[in-house]
Structure formats: C-alpha cells, structure tokens
Structure 1
C-alpha cells in the first residue's frame, strides 16, 4: 500500500522530543525519500534500551527512508584505547548481527538499511583535511559547550573530547545524508553542526531528537554495568529477576522506565487494534486492556494499576521481543562470536597490603570508595591560606577528623557550622599549606560564563555521622583502607560522578544513597562532583 506524504512525515517525527529543520522534511519528501543516519560507538554490548532508537529506525524504514547505521569504531578505539582493534572488529560484527536481529524481531524490512564503519572514511585524506579545516573554525568555547552532555567533563579534558563534536558534524557530510538522528542530549552537537558545516560550504542538515528515556532498572541502563541492564540474550528467568529490581514507585509516571519503554517501544510496535494487556486475577480486578499509552499512564498515575502487575506485563512484552533474537543467536557461529567479542572479565585478586595501602589489580569499582556522612563540629579559616577552611568533622570514629576544604569563596563559616556533609574518607592523608587533611568534603561544582559555583553535597535529614554512603548496584564489597594514589582510583571514578537534573548525586546514573535516602545538592543541576 502506497503511503501518503503526511503518513510518512508522521512516522518520521512521532515520539520525538524535538526536530530541527522540520520544514526541510516536507520539501525533501515531495521529491524523494529521506536519508537518515544514526551512530553508535561499538563498546559495550547492545541491551534492551537499544530498542528505543531501533524502534524509531523502524519508523524511518517503514516510511521509506534510507537509513545508515554508523558503527563508530574509531571513536570506540580512541575511548582511552580500552580495546584493541582485533576486539573492536569482532564487536562491530556483533553489533551488526544484534541490530539486524532486533529489526527482524519487530518485523522491519532491511532492504533500505546500510551499515557503515567510521574507519571506512574517517582515516581518508579528504576527511582528515576537513578535520583540520573545521579545527580552524570552531572555538574552544563552542567545542566544549557542544560536548558538555555527551563527553565526559573533567578538569583537564583530553583534546579528543574537544574534537568529538566536530567529527560528528563532519559525519553528516561524508555519509551524504539529509538528517541525523540521536538523543536530545546531543542537541548542542547538532546546533554546532548547523552553525559550522555551512561555513565549510556544506549543507545544514535536519536533526531528529529522541527524548532521554529512563532505564528499566532505575536511572540509565549502562552497557558496562551488568545489573543495570537487560541484555538481548538474557534468559526469561534473568529478565524476571532484573525487572523485580526495577524502580517503579506507585503513581510515579515521570521517572518510570517501565512506562517509558511501553510508550517508546511497545505501543509503537502494535498492530492495528492490538491493545496492551495486563493479566490479573479476578480477585485483583481482572484483566485490563489499554488501547493507547495515555490510558495506561493515567491508570498507573491514579494508582489503579499496581507496579507488580505493570512489571509482569512489561516482562511478557520484553520476552516477546527477545525470543526471536535468542533463537537467531542459537547458531554456533554467533555463540562463538559473542564469546570472542565480549570475553568474560578476568578478575584479579588482592596480592598484599603494605602500609595500609592495598597492593592490588582489582577492577576500579565505586564500592572501593569509603564515603560517609560527617558532621562539622568545628571550623576555622586556615592560618596560612585565605581560601581554605580547616574543619573538625565527626564521621563516626572515636575522634573527629581534620579536613581542609577550599570552600571559603563559596560557603560562609556560619553556613558550614554544625552542618552534615558527605566525606570521602579513604584518600591518603595530604598536607595542605602545613595542615594535614584526612579526607575530602564532596561538593557539586559547575562553571557558567567563567564563574565557578560550588555546593556541598547534602545527606538526607535523618542521616547520622558515620552512616555509609553507597552507590546503587555496588552495595557489595569493602572499601579500600586507603586508596592507592599511584593507581588514581578516585580520579578514574570521579569522572562519572555528577548531579542529575533533579540535583541528585549519581555515578553512571546509579544514585548515591544512605539507608535514609539519596544524596543531593541545593541547586546545581548536572554539575560534577569533586
């Protein structure tokens, strides 16, 4: 059946949060089908959350668009060179098989889909020359601003992080597409592309943006965190186990990954007249059927649908999606590919302990940090430094600790007195202008137009000195007695510590919590923690 231009346009833009260049879509569709690309770095294994962008790619293919999926293997290699080329080659193959299997699972034709590797053109003379040309146009301010949401922000950023937004802009030209599709977190990269590509004589492209969808297991699903994601090859029993841990607060529709998955994946894949079914015992009110996502959301918001029943229904639909993928990957050659592309990690063990410092080769996990609630019981200005406080902090030990903090310019002494703070306790003691500091008061920090803002992290009101602060999904394991400064464990973990848009402290989207609740700051959304 021939699809009208209006029907094609509706498929292209449905469920998107924002479109830049909407009018261009209409103009192109009058002449031909749209050409779109979506890029992904071939690092961690694709998981269930990939169905969100894949479902939109399904929309584009159904609308007759030509879609290119870019496997950003060069970017993956340059990500601290964590994986050798041989392993990345296998992972590119796994990504291609996985994405084809996902599209097959939802019944989407693949004839207008093309897979491209970044290294197929990003190492060419022409592309390299354009990188140099672009570098002579883009200011450091614009490059840093563009990558703020997607490039890890550290005090001394690598040059590659500043280049990243420009490289992504050039991909649009070299892939010869009309539009780039991505998450709304890439908006600043998209606007940088729209500003600078025309300066190089290239066409400004359309940009299609998905909303940022919360993960099923609370926060964002991460490929690197086994317990925070549902893998495409997880068994039904594993799916059930992981969904039991999913955050699903009664009546909460704003931060609910289960509902988000229903909206952006399940309902979009229904056939005409198919409804979302919730199976319940007669004693619990009997089965429910929802023709639209809005009906489902309203029912849950009014607490007429129990979280356990919603989880059970989502479990059914997830397994319905995963069953064809599991079947495809039963082939011996694909089983072998999975094992080679993602070999099981080799867990090293502690070999000795010397001078209170662990001599070890363990993974750098957040459970190694000793973070506790502390109460400032005494505070004064540092005798030899105008910008430093010297604090006596009760962290639940026999004697309070002396900690030196550079907060004079940001928080007054009166605000700090008798205040509960969050303290990193297992840094190696260090002298700061003659005073030994035995820990660090953790703060949210941000910079706007050259002005720095700092706010101490705040534990919940019921917290007491000595209460341990843990990171969700990393409750197991004992902290190091003292972090080995030579291995830079704190520095490696700190990169992923930041505040959410709700001013809640997170590490890779896993919340920092005490037994009484989440760690927060006063107002600095999206700030980094140091």
Structure 2
C-alpha cells in the first residue's frame, strides 16, 4: 500500500502546475481519495511523433500510484479544430490513434485491461452535455475562447472557438479528479478551472508534462517538416539519418535537440525500466506481464547497478550526471547521437512489430492519412 506521499511523488514527478497552490490541492486529493480518476485527452489530428512517448510514459506513473486512468480521444474536438477534414477522416484518425496508443502502452509494459478508453463523441451528443455546452457559451466572451491557444486566437472560423467548451466539459462528464496534458494546455486548463465551477461542478486538478523539442531544438509539431521529428514508424535507417543531422552543438544544452529528446523521452522510459527490475511498480502489480522479454535500462550489461544510460563506454545514474558529462566534453556529440539512435530504435521496434502484424492498423492508416500525409 502506497502512502499519500508516495502517490504524490509518482503523480507529480516531471510535472508542472498552474499555480503553487495546485500542488497542495493535489496532495490533499491523493490523501483523501483512494483511486482518483485522471484522463489524458488527445485530439486525433496529425500523425503522432515520438513526443507522444512523454504523456504515455507518464500514464505508467499514474497506474503505479493507483489512479483510474483514461485515454480520452477528442474526436469532436479534432473535427472542429481541424475543420478542413471530414468527420469520416477524423474517425479514421481516431482509430489510427487508438492502434498507436495501444501499441505504445503495450511496449511500455502496460496491460491494456488496466486502461480505460473513451471517445468524446460518446459523451458530447448527450442532451445534458449539449445543454451544458450552451450554458457555458452563454457565460463566455469570444475573447475567453480565443485566449486558450494561439491556434484558436488566430482563427477566422467559428468551430475552433468551441474547443475550450468541449474540453472543459470533459471534466464533469468523465467524472474526473485530475486532467492531464502538456504545458501547451495552460489556457485550456485555466478555462476549465475558471468556468466549470460556474456551471455548478467541482473544480478539478491539473498536471502538465513538458513539451518536447524537435531535432532542430525547437518545439516539435506534427505540422513541421519530417526531418525535425522522429515518427513512430520510421525505420532504423531513417531514425539514424535524422538524429545524425540533428542539432547537437558540443558542450551546449540550449537548443540541443538530441540532448533534449534524451532527457524528455528516453530517460523517463529508462528510469521506469530500472524501477520495474527492482520491483518498484507500486499499485501497478501486473506491469510488464505481457512483455515478451525483460526490458533493461539503456545501459550496457557491464554498467554498474543503477545506471540508466551508457554512452561511449561511460555509464550514468541520472540525466544530470549525463548532461554534466556532455557539457564538460567527456561525452562528444557523435557518441551521444549513437546512443540516442540505438535507444530510439529499441523502443520503436516493438511498436513497429505490432503495426507490421496488424492489417487493420495498416488499412486505417491509408484512410486516415492518404498518400502518407501527416494530417495538416
């Protein structure tokens, strides 16, 4: 049985909050409720890149903390924000996302029966949801809607201005205690925090993960050129070519795309693998039961116990130690890139194996992203 402090440490690691007070509010929730409900909400738009490892790896922490974890596919949101595509196309993309998310979670050691998956469209056409959406629209200004993200703020269309309404109402209609998303969700989370109580519902907690930089050292996005990001289905040679050409100035951390992806994507996976080997999976007692092989951290077999990464014959127990080695010149860019290539190809292999064996996933990919388009 985990203590409230242990639960908080799992839920809050690598997360940020809207305000410092929200951290205390989360501690109170975890001490008072045995199994709080949390959801990660994702809109099926562009083809996901490896930045999606960050929230999905975090779901493992939530399961270890004993939370009730839901993936919420925002198919209605995906249509109104990306209105140039038909509802039918968005539905194919939702199916593609579900195939991919399921494969990623499986590769991370999560038995899918421990997860909950909900489609937004199964809730948002309910008469009560529609009525609440009208009530919410009646107490919001147009500026309130535009303030949630730059994308909505710059639109000339009406439908994207309804995105905040759709996402905020997910909190009461999923009966959530916590909504989880990226730091780019600040506007949406503040909207929910402000407006949902005005409809008579309780205020929820919000936690946010870091947004991963692309290989160019800048924000990764599905709409950016392919060479700036690694796709989940990129073959090993493509992964190697992209990382080889990536921004990785010797001794520099700022705008270093390779070091950033190691820190934000690979290190959390490696640390969770080490914890699983030590039996430190908390409430998630069946974690790893469906894996075909024992997953080790990204350290060589001769590395000291507790190492999470090996680079150029050197072993590191933490990201901080690794970064220090890079800044001091102990690790050079080429050795760093080689280790990152090997690690990414290892984590992508089981996902690609599931894809290769799934005719349904392959067929829906062509319907969702015809001709290999990325979705924008």
TM-score, structure 1 as length reference: 0.60
Partner of 1:411 in structure 2? Answer: none
**Partner SS for 1:182:** strand
> Which one has the bigger strand percentage?
1
Distance in 2 between residues matched to 1:86 and 1:143, nearest whole Å: 26
Distance in 2 between residues matched to 1:63 and 1:259, nearest whole Å: 29
Partner of 2:238 in structure 1? Answer: 238
Residue correspondence of structure 1 range 128-277 to structure 2 within 5 A:
128-145=130-147, 147-149=148-150, 151-154=151-154, 157-224=156-223, 225-269=225-269, 270=271, 271-272=274-275, 273-277=305-309
**Partner SS for 2:215:** coil
Q: How far off its partner does 1:303 sit?
A: 2.9
> Which one has the bigger helix percentage?
2
Counterparts in 2 of 1:265 and 1:23: CA distance versus 1, 3 Å: same
Contact 1:71-1:117 within 8 A present in 2 as well: yes
Q: How far off its partner does 1:259 sit?
A: 2.4
Partner of 1:61 in structure 2? Answer: 63
More off after superposition, 201-210 vs 58-67: 58-67
- Tell me which of 340, 352, 363 is aligned to 2:367: 340
1:324 aligns with 2:326: no
Deviations 1:91-115 (A, max 9, x none): 2122111111111112123333111
Contact 2:51-2:211 within 8 A present in 1 as well: no
Distance in 1 between residues matched to 2:372 and 2:47, nearest whole Å: 14
1:16 aligns with 2:42: no
Structure index of larger Rg:
1
Partner of 1:46 in structure 2? Answer: 48
- Tell me which of 36, 39, 47 is aligned to 2:38: 36
Partner of 1:288 in structure 2? Answer: 314
Distance in 2 between residues matched to 1:173 and 1:293, nearest whole Å: 38
Q: How far off its partner does 1:55 sit?
A: 1.3
Contact 2:57-2:268 within 8 A present in 1 as well: yes
Q: How far off its partner does 1:291 sit?
A: 0.2
Residue correspondence of structure 1 range 381-420 to structure 2 within 5 A:
none
Unaligned runs of 5+ residues in structure 2 are: 276-304
TM-score, structure 2 as length reference: 0.83
Distance in 2 between residues matched to 1:324 and 1:44, nearest whole Å: 22
Contact 1:25-1:34 within 8 A present in 2 as well: no
Contact 1:94-1:338 within 8 A present in 2 as well: yes
Partner of 1:78 in structure 2? Answer: 80
- Show structure 1 runs of 4+ deviating over 6 A: none
**Partner SS for 1:98:** helix
Deviations 1:383-414 (A, max 9, x none): xxxxxxxxxxxxxxxxxxxxxxxxxxxxxxxx
Q: How far off its partner does 1:128 sit?
A: 1.3
Which structure ranks higher in relative contact order (CA pairs < 8 Å, sequence separation ≥ 6)? 2
Partner of 2:278 in structure 1? Answer: none
CA-atom RMSD, angstroms?
2.2
Distance in 1 between residues matched to 2:259 and 2:132, nearest whole Å: 43
Contact 1:13-1:19 within 8 A present in 2 as well: no
More off after superposition, 51-60 vs 221-230: 221-230
Q: How far off its partner does 1:274 sit?
A: 4.2
Q: How far off its partner does 1:74 sit?
A: 1.2
Distance in 2 between residues matched to 1:95 and 1:170, nearest whole Å: 22
Distance in 2 between residues matched to 1:182 and 1:36, nearest whole Å: 10
Contact 1:217-1:243 within 8 A present in 2 as well: no
Contact 1:232-1:325 within 8 A present in 2 as well: yes
Deviations 1:280-310 (A, max 9, x none): 3xxxxxx111101110111122233211111
More off after superposition, 258-267 vs 320-329: 258-267
